[in-house]
Chain A
Amino acid sequence: MFYREAGQFKASYQADSRIFPIRQDQIGFVALMAFLFLVVPFIANQYWLQAVLIPVLIFGLAALGLNILTGYAGQLSLGSAAFMAVGAFGTYNFMLRIDGMPFLVAILLGGLCAAAVGILFGLPSLRIKGFYLAVATLAAQFFIVWVLVKFGWFSNYSSSGVITAQRVNILGIDFRSPEMKYLLTLTVVTVLALLAKNMVRSSTGRKWMAVRDMDVAAEVIGIRLMRTKLQAFAISSFYCGVAGALYAYMYLGTVEPEGFNLDLSFKILFMIIIGGVGSIMGSFIGAAFIVLLPVLLNVAFHGSIGAFVPADLASNMELIIFGSLIIFFLIVEPHGLARLWQLAKEKLRLWPFPH
């Protein structure tokens, strides 16, 4: 009843191509942003900020990166965690080796390093497709982690190969408290997510989707395959790289290359499958699902019913339930949770008169 576009007329092309064509959506989005930026830092406690919101935002960004490559451009990749590692180690080295390096520039450069590496490992995509490409990107996963462990220069010759994030200071403001870290993460993620949203709506994104849907046809209508695919690899890796840098600087503080292992790559892949392949919002919903559900189950099992269930049984039950829920959602909604949201919106537009 309240959610419909009757009476909202579009008088210009600009109005027609807005991200949120319906006024209710615009209001909703602004309200959400205002809530996240202005209210959350004041009402959320340390636990919520540091253990829930920051990781969800960071993993959401990484999933968004993979979604650009897999969901929009149709190139399967298993190397997302490795590109995150490149971003994290790149940022660390720029901060370490260049005096007075501003953090935001370092993150940008770290992301560009990841983009360069992404292009390199994207080259095979010109020849191979589908699962075979996934195997080729698997090489990136193992090779990059190996390089970071093997050559001490990357970790400044730390005896155990870990890097410790330097203190982040932007324009004299110290980003140490959870609130500040959260705000910085949120800002970076918001800017990049809006950028991605616009990218996939523009000719860039349309080219990606054309290549995804049928690359021979795309080539016939004049889309240059090499450029489009490598562009997708570069942008996707850039997003992953920035996510990796945030993971190191805003979340963990100290990271080892082994932390960016295949498990993490799989996790990011699951996030977009659960959240919705080819959906910006799906990346964040998927990240929230994969990051928070195990925590929720753990709280439930070890907290309240923990007294009645032996701990090893509880831990295994969590995994079983987590797995079953993934299967359940994939059966109920193969297009991901974002699709459920879309369906709900369509229903709402008709409600309460479905005919």
Chain B
Amino acid sequence: MKLRNTLMAVAAVATVFTAGHAVAQQEQYIGLPSYRVGPFGASGAALYGGWIDYMAMINARDGGVNGVTLTWEECETEYNNARGVECYERMKNRGPTGNSVFQPLSTGITYSVLDRVAEDKIPMVTIGYGRTDAADGTVFPWVFPMISTYWNQASAIMNYIGEKEGGMQNLRGKKIGLLYHDSAYGAESHAVMDRLAEMHGFSVVKIAVASPGNEQQAQWLQIRRERPDYVILWGWGVMNPTAIRTASRTGYPVEKIVGVWWSGAEEDVVPAGEAAKGYTAAGFNPAGTDFGVIQDIMSHVYAHNRGNMSDRSRVGSVLYNRGVVHGIITVEAIRTAQEQFGTGRPMTGEEMRWGFENLNIDEARLVALGADGFMPNLQITCEDHEGSGLLKFQQWDGEKWTVVSDWISGDRELVRGMIQESAAAYAAEKGITPRDCSAQ
């Protein structure tokens, strides 16, 4: 009898939950392959937290997008490729129209599902990571490495260094150290740095740091021996504070280190303490809570104690704000798609893809979103899935990040050429016929 009662109770609970799903109507489902544990858990929590808070704010303030409520579900990937694939498969058919967009925040998972998204017709958006040559929309219609690719970032960093040196011509004869995370992510920097070095006449010293990178004495001794004029820190996770600390121990000036956007968050500099004062890093979104969109999140979400971040002081941190950028881009794509295919109903994967491809967030739209200066303007086209290529550089003063540059672009012509070259090679290897964008 006892067992039967328990079973009944379980059945009742199960009915409640399934019923909860069934009454839902006009919902846009977004599957979030998040990671909150593991080596990069802290970063994942901030990023997905920001994204979730933005969607919660849209639901609370506007009642969704044109009346369509945003719903989401998290799936823990632990930043592990196999788990990421499982999450992708689990979420792809949920919700009324399936998963709207897949954004794994992990280059490894991006590669693992690259073929699957085209087959399942689910757009994949990789903002600031992932496969660089996927920016060629003719070969990769379903992948959107938005705002900036790694190659463009490398080029933008060199432009920034050139600006500091008083012009690109002054880079001739200079020596640039490239301290990179020894993985697919770190290897992305090589081809473009070699090309840039050839163009501008500087030399590159590539120094690998084995993952996770919590021991870098040998690497920094090599840097001391080589005496590069600048060091580009191409790191992730625990590698970043370790690099900054070891640099100060070996006497390399922190002002001469420029980090990439995955090396430029509070999580990277705070553990390094005093040593990080004066460190500069790239980013496509500044830190801070002074933006309209963050204020809206504060008043509509956190004021009602519905925020996702358990530590409220992390709202406005670099990675949190980056998560908000993810939210803005996702919601704007839904809006764009709805304007084309009909408002007030959830969009399918194919309609979402159209929405991303025709996304145009210009200055006026940014002001309307309360995101002026919060992210670069962004226009995606059929050929160009990158869309912006603009970066800002921020410096850590020991307390907070301060923006020290205007929006800086990379050498887009050069990068675009390399992207097309690489994408064409991929298309040839896989037997893909690039689509004709004039026919779209």
Question: How many Å lie between the Cα of A315 and that of B75 in the bound state?
Answer: 9
Q: Are B76 and A318 in contact (CB under 8 A)?
A: yes
Q: Closest CB-CB distance, A230 to chain B, in whole Å?
A: 29
Q: Point out the residues of chain B lying under 8 angstroms from A299, CB to CB.
A: 90
Q: Are A252 and B37 in contact (CB under 8 A)?
A: no
Question: How many Å lie between the Cα of A315 and that of B115 in the bound state?
Answer: 28
Q: Point out the residues of chain A lying under 8 angstroms from B111, CB to CB.
A: 160, 162, 164, 252, 254-256
B190 within 8 A of A: yes
Q: How large is the interface on A (under 10, 10 to 19, 20 to 34, 35 or more residues)?
A: 35 or more
Task: Kindly supply a per-residue 1/0 record for chain A positions 156-175, scoring 1 wherever the CB is within 8 Å of any chain B CB and 0 otherwise.
Answer: 00011110101100000000
Q: Closest CB-CB distance, B390 to chain A, in whole Å?
A: 23
Q: Point out the residues of chain A lying under 8 angstroms from B131, CB to CB.
A: 160
Q: Are B429 and A160 in contact (CB under 8 A)?
A: no
Residue of A nearest to B119 (CB): A176
CB neighbors of B among A298-351 (8 A) = 298-299, 302-304, 306, 310-312, 314-316, 318-319
Q: Point out the residues of chain A lying under 8 angstroms from B266, CB to CB.
A: none
Out of A149, A251, A261, A294, name the residue touching B85 (CB < 8 Å).
A251
Of A3-11, A18-26, A29-37, A43-51, the one with at least 4 CB within 8 A of chain B: A43-51
Q: Interface size (B, Cβ < 8 Å)?
A: 52
Question: How many Å lie between the Cα of A78 and that of B222 in the bound state?
Answer: 30
Q: Are B90 and A47 in contact (CB under 8 A)?
A: yes
Residue of A nearest to B18 (CB): A304
The secondary structure that dominates the B interface is helix
The secondary structure that dominates the A interface is helix
Q: Point out the residues of chain A lying under 8 angstroms from B429, CB to CB.
A: 164, 166
B285 within 8 A of A: no
B430 within 8 A of A: yes
B198 within 8 A of A: no
CB neighbors of A among B165-215 (8 A) = 182-185, 187-188, 190-191, 208, 210-211
CB neighbors of B among A136-161 (8 A) = 142, 146, 149, 159-161
B224 within 8 A of A: no
Q: A47-B90, A255-B111 are in contact. Are A311 and B34 (CB under 8 A)?
A: yes
Q: Point out the residues of chain B lying under 8 angstroms from A295, CB to CB.
A: 83, 86, 90
Question: How many Å lie between the Cα of A319 and that of B80 in the bound state?
Answer: 14
Question: How many Å lie between the Cα of A125 and that of B338 in the bound state?
Answer: 65
B226 within 8 A of A: no
Max chain A Cβ within 10 angstroms of own Cβ: one of B73, B76, B131, B191: B76
Q: Are A159 and B90 in contact (CB under 8 A)?
A: no
Out of B81, B112, B132, B183, name the residue touching A159 (CB < 8 Å).
B132
Question: How many Å lie between the Cα of A221 and that of B299 in the bound state?
Answer: 81
Q: A256-B183, A298-B76, A302-B76 are in contact. Are A315 and B85 (CB under 8 A)?
A: no
Q: Are A306 and B86 in contact (CB under 8 A)?
A: no
B365 within 8 A of A: no
A259 within 8 A of B: yes
Max chain A Cβ within 10 angstroms of own Cβ: one of B13, B73, B81: B81
Q: Are B211 and A258 in contact (CB under 8 A)?
A: yes
Out of B45, B81, B83, B89, name the residue touching A312 (CB < 8 Å).
B45
Q: Closest CB-CB distance, B305 to chain A, in whole Å?
A: 12
Question: How many Å lie between the Cα of A100 and that of B190 in the bound state?
Answer: 32
Residue of A nearest to B431 (CB): A167
Q: Are B184 and A302 in contact (CB under 8 A)?
A: no
Q: Are B36 and A256 in contact (CB under 8 A)?
A: no
A124 within 8 A of B: no
Q: Are B108 and A259 in contact (CB under 8 A)?
A: yes
Q: Are A316 and B184 in contact (CB under 8 A)?
A: no
A102 within 8 A of B: no
CB neighbors of B among A254-304 (8 A) = 254-259, 261, 263, 291, 294-295, 298-299, 302-304
CB neighbors of A among B102-156 (8 A) = 107-108, 111-112, 114-116, 131-133
Residue of A nearest to B116 (CB): A253
B422 within 8 A of A: yes
Q: Are B89 and A159 in contact (CB under 8 A)?
A: no
Q: What are 7 A-B contacts with C-beta separation under 8 Å?
A: A47-B90, A160-B111, A160-B185, A252-B85, A258-B182, A306-B74, A316-B37
Q: Given known contacts A159-B132, A311-B34, A311-B36, what 8 new A-B pairs fall within 8 Å (CB)?
A: A50-B89, A149-B208, A160-B111, A164-B111, A167-B431, A291-B82, A310-B310, A319-B37
- A contacts, CB < 8 Å to B: 46-47, 50-52, 55, 142, 146, 149, 159-162, 164, 166-167, 251-259, 261, 263, 291, 294-295, 298-299, 302-304, 306, 310-312, 314-316, 318-319
- B contacts, CB < 8 Å to A: 13, 17, 34-37, 41, 45, 48, 73-76, 78, 80-83, 85-86, 88-90, 93, 107-108, 111-112, 114-116, 131-133, 182-185, 187-188, 190-191, 208, 210-211, 308, 310, 422, 426, 429-431
